[in-house]
Structure 1
Amino acid sequence: MKEKKTKKVPRKISLVESILLLIVFVVIMIWTALIAKAPTAMGVLYCAVICGVYGVYLGHGWDDLFSNVYKVAQTAMPALYFLMLTGFVSAAWIASGTIPYMIYLGLGIIKPAIFLFSAFLMTAVAAMVTGTSWGILTSLGLALGGIATGLGIPLPMAAGAIVSGCFLGDKWSPLSDTPNLAAASTGQNIIKLFTNMIPTAGGGALIAGIIYLVMGFMLPQSGGASIGEITTLRDGLAASFDFNILLLIPIIFVFVFAAMKYPALPVLFIGVILGMGEAVIFQGVGFKEITGIVWNGYKSATGNLVIDSLLSRGGCMSLAGLVMLLFAAFTFAGLLEKIGVLDTIMEKLLNRVKSQGALVLCNVLTSMATVLLSSSVYVSIILNGRMYDKAYRKMGLDMVCLSRTLSEGAAHYGGLVPWSGGGVLVISTLGVLPWSYVPYAFAAWAATLLTVLFAYFNIFMPKADYDENLELVEEGVAL
């Protein structure tokens, strides 16, 4: 009788192996982006291949490795559907005249000196009200990008202000999934989380707003577009589209119904239908033509190079390469998680953390690193919430401190990492190069810095009492 073959137990990866692998991954990413100037997806795929091969070397089976890849990809499917819809939205709203009309109005109202501050404030409020950074980015953000170009504002600066506003509003909105996930993963009330984010996210917003105001007034006057150039752009837009106030209906519909807590996907889909209808009614676009536009993108042919570069974008197929980048990132994240690279490093790190300042700094860095490696804010919040739970309790910290750190260390960076869903959307919507706008995302950097500083100086760090089993006995004050 044949003996049953026993399944091989994978070997646990060592700390040295984990660190060396991370160094290899960073080198590959840098080489791909800066030296080879190859598509980012190829660098991610190279890392995934190395991760998979090393996983087999550790004793993992291919089926086990890829079952985790499928699990990660499955959790990200809603983001992919959202990404596809945003391609439809941008193309439909350009063809309808909605986005061109917003650019037309903005060029007549917003002045170059206050543009960065205005863009930051408007996107932050809109994202907070609607609970969607992605939806605001592809609508209001796209229009503001066009206004920036018309005013002569450097696009990376404008993108930094827009991204700062969109993701600040999103992480501070009761309608957004990100803060709700950060609160739920640590068993906290969402209102308590928002209250405790006032010193960090609120302080970061104040610092960012001041910087954007100062930057706006410091921009060289010669760098901006002249009144004559702005007039030419407005006249060119007015000559190419039939403008009227009804063109704002699609964007108003999306804002209102998103604020009323209706699901984002169906609301955006109806917004696309409204845009397609207005393109047919007001711009004289045929149904066959508008169908091709939402799939392949809008192609502007006004003869004005600035207008044509602004409006020739959108469509589902314009995001095909970006969707493939996300699939490459999901593959890498699934393999990385399965072989336990981050878990091994975290286990050693937490054994050496002796102060609450070091704990929060470590939490912020690993949250950012998880977004960088997994391409997902959700994965970062969930994994880091599990990894740091006991450490925060042992320090006697209220668990809202963990919720806040997870939010400040992960949420904003979903719009800064080029291969994350938010980063992909920023690059495709605003037409900026990867990383070019990251230095100007002041709301993200300021909030992160304040989170760490407050921990080291023991300010705004509520405490709690736990028993010998680390079960909660009494919570601390809110701030």
Structure 2
Amino acid sequence: MATLSFEPLSYDDIPVEERPTLFQALVPVLGMLTFLSVGAIGLGLDAHMPLLWGIVLTGLVGRYWIGISWTRMYEGIVDGLRMGMQAILIIFIIYLLIATWTGSGTIPALIYYGLDILNPQVFLPATALLAAIVAFSIGSSWTTAGTLGVAFIGIGAGLGVPEQMTAGAVLTGAYTGDKISPLSDTTNLAAAVTNTDLMTHVRTMRVGTSIAMGISLVLYTILGLNAAGAIPAESVGNIQSAIAGTYNLSPLVFLPLLITFGLALTGFPALPALGAGIFAGVFTQFFLQGPLTVANFVAAWEVPMYGTEPETGSELVNGLLASGGVVGDSAWTITIVVAALALGGILERTGVIAVLTHHLSKAITSVAGLTIGTAVSAFGMNILAAEQYMSIVVPGMSLRGLYEDFDLESRNLSRGIEAAGTTTSALIPWNAGAIYMTGVLGVAPFAGSMGLQGYAPYYFLGFLSPLILVAMGLTGWRITKQTEETQAGLKGAISSLGDD
């Protein structure tokens, strides 16, 4: 389960003389959004430099206007990076895994047999369903996207389905399974920071998530019907021939996949399970994809480092199966994640996030407003802090008292931060979630970024999940009040704390 090594500042934690005004808090936020809009969209720069500009502006405002020392702001950056360290390590290891599974024949075999089983009409809904099942089983949307998602992109390309549609279906399925899985780290974190029983939180998530998934499947079915016949039928055969002529497609090539998912299903954390998958992939390549020589053993271990450049005789297949390994692919992704986490850390330490959250909570006067405010707060943290954990922790800790004031069960809050926080992280281009998905799937949230296609219009869960949450708040449907027993228990706990 994801845990925090520090507690984000609350409004009351900040000494009055160091507490930013609302105007002071808005300056670095508006500046950052301006930098990203002008730099990344207007000038076509990678997001690294606009994020750097945002860090500098926030540092100057914090030091010379608010009065925070450089040391404390540096500590905030370190805390931001520490919070995102698990994400950075997963990004690092996933790039090793993708290259290894390509060299071992695992991903080529998934594409080869997937083209036999699937067709354009059913591909998109089937992709979303399979991704949901896998993510639910292992509790990780990132692992699902970085393994099966990569294969689905290849299968979709072979069937003539646009890659941005495939990526949207992968993300919808992966985040759906993740959100209703008791094994998910963000699901556990949402329950923990809101003092909600884990299984109660999971059951509360299932209704809205299932409705969003059901609507998504209908939309993917419609898209799939329109995608039929996009490429000549013989193209599938050509792709399969190119793969079969280059790789040994023995059933043993699926061993790395079985080991990785098997460990995940038995409760192993993501990093050890993925690490085992790398070793399994290297040895599978050594024993199945070439002669048993020292040179081939060395070559198998170079693949996760430097990637693959297959020569299949088909430019399409070569493009699908080419990978840069950790050297060629991970640097861009990891550096932008580091920059985004640093910006989130300095915004937190200067009190900007706490002040904005405080003023948002003051504007809430009804249950509907509280639900909408929770959604806005979670989504806002994805923009400001660029890390899905912060989208759970900050509103989860800041709004607990308001939910108690409205006599609402904590499950309402835990559902709100998950439905509007984790699921929308992949929509913010500089958020760690979107950066990761762009890196492994080769599709950006919005078209034009790095010359890539955009998956956002087809990532239906990212829009439907918060919209359904807001509808619940406006109508009162599935909004649960505290029972008399629950209220008595809370009062007893508060009383005992006072006695201590």
TM-score by length of 1: 0.93
Instruction: Indicate the residue corresponding to 1:389 in structure 2.
Output: 400
8 Å Cα contact 1:296/1:315 also seen in 2: yes
- 2:388/2:433 contact within 8 Å kept: no
What is the deviation of 1:433? 2.8
Contact 2:138 2:265 in 1 (8 A): yes
Q: Which residue of 1 aligns with 2:299?
A: 289
1:342–1:9: structure 2 CA closer, same or farther, 3 Å change rule? closer
Please name the residue that 1:270 is paired with: 276
* Offset from partner CA, 1:194-236 (integer Å, 9 cap, x none): 21123211111111111111221133x45x2221111111111
- Matched with 2:470 is 452
Structure 1 segments of 4 or more deviating over 6 A?
none
Equivalent of residue 175 in structure 1, options 167, 175, 183: 183
Equivalent residue for 1:50? 57
Query: TM-score, length-normalised on structure 2?
Result: 0.89
Matched letter for residue 225 of structure 1: I
Counterparts of 1:339 and 1:415, CA distance in 2: 26
Q: Is residue 249 of structure 2 the alignment partner of residue 231 of structure 1?
A: no
Report the Cα distance in structure 1 between the residues aligned to 2:488 and 2:29, rounded to whole angstroms: 33
CA contact (8 A) 2:28 2:61 kept: no
SS at match of 2:68: coil
Q: Deviation of residue 9 (structure 1)?
A: 8.3
Question: After the TM superposition, which of the residue ranges 431-440 and 268-277 deviates more from structure 2?
Answer: 431-440
What's 1:12 paired with?
A: 19
For residue 442 of structure 1, the aligned residue among 456, 460, 474 is 460
* Distance apart, 1:452 and its partner CA: 0.6
SS for the counterpart of 1:354 is coil
**Matches of 2:288 and 2:438, distance apart in 1:** 30
Cα–Cα, structure 1 residues 466 and 27, in superposed 2: closer, same or farther, change >3 Å? farther
In structure 1, C-alpha distance between the alignment counterparts of 2:488 and 2:84, rounded to whole Å: 33
1:246 aligns with 2:252: yes
Are the counterparts in 2 of residues 393 and 466 from structure 1 also a CA contact under 8 Å?
no
SS of 2:316's equivalent in the other structure is: helix
The counterpart of 1:70, out of the listed 70, 75, 78, is 78
Unmatched tracts of structure 2, length 5 or more: 1-14, 447-453, 493-500
1:306 counterpart = 2:316:
yes
Look up the equivalent residue of 1:166 and give its one-letter code: A
Corresponding position of 1:85 = 93
Question: Offset at 1:372?
Answer: 1.8
Distance 1:473 1:122 in 2: 45
Amino acid at match of 1:309: G
Q: How many residue pairs are counted as aligned between the two chains?
A: 465
Equivalent of residue 438 in structure 2, options 412, 418, 427: 427
Map of 2:354 onto structure 1: 343
- Give CA-to-partner distance per residue, 1:61-108, whole Å, 9 cap, x none: 111100111112112222212111101110010001000000000111
Give how far 1:11 is off: 3.2
Mapped to 2, the partners of 1:20 and 1:63 lie a distance apart of: 21
Matching residue of 2:343: 332
In structure 2, give the amino acid aligned to 1:12.
Answer: R
Are 1:40 and 2:47 counterparts?
yes
Q: Distance in 2 between matches of 1:131 and 1:332?
A: 28
SS in 1 for 2:188: helix
Q: Which runs of 5+ in 1 are unaligned?
A: 1-7, 475-479
| Partners of 1:40 and 1:419 within 8 A in 2 | yes
Q: CA deviation at 1:462?
A: 0.5
What CA distance in whole angstroms lies between the structure 2 residues aligned with 1:56 and 1:471? 45
1:124–1:16: structure 2 CA closer, same or farther, 3 Å change rule?
A: same
TM-fit CA distance, 1:419: 2.7
Aligned equivalents of 2:419, 2:312: Cα separation in 1: 44
Q: 2-side partners of 1:348 and 1:189: how far apart?
A: 29
Q: Deviations over 1:297-333 (max 9, x none)?
A: 1112223111111111141121012111111011101
Deviation at 1:10, TM superposition (A): 5.3
SS of the residue corresponding to residue 226 of structure 1 reads coil
2:449 aligns with: none
Aligned CA distance change for structure 1 residues 66 and 10 (closer, same or farther; 3 Å): farther
Q: Does 1:97 align with 2:115?
A: no
| Superposition deviation, residue 152 in structure 1 | 0.9
Q: Deviations over 1:165-185 (max 9, x none)?
A: 111111211111111110111
Question: Once the 2 structures are TM-superposed, how far is the Cα of residue 361 of structure 1 from its aligned partner?
Answer: 0.8
Quote the Cα distance in structure 1 between the aligned partners of 2:276 and 2:24: 50
Q: Which residue is 1:412 aligned to?
A: 423
* Alpha-carbon distance in structure 2 between the residues aligned to 1:129 and 1:314: 29
Counterpart of 2:411 in structure 1 is 400
Residue of structure 2 equivalent to 1:373:
384
1:254–1:268 CA contact under 8 A, matched in 2: yes
Which deviates more from structure 2 when the two are superposed, residues 409-418 or residues 27-36?
409-418
Distance, in Å, in 1 between the alignment partners of 2:206 and 2:297 is 49
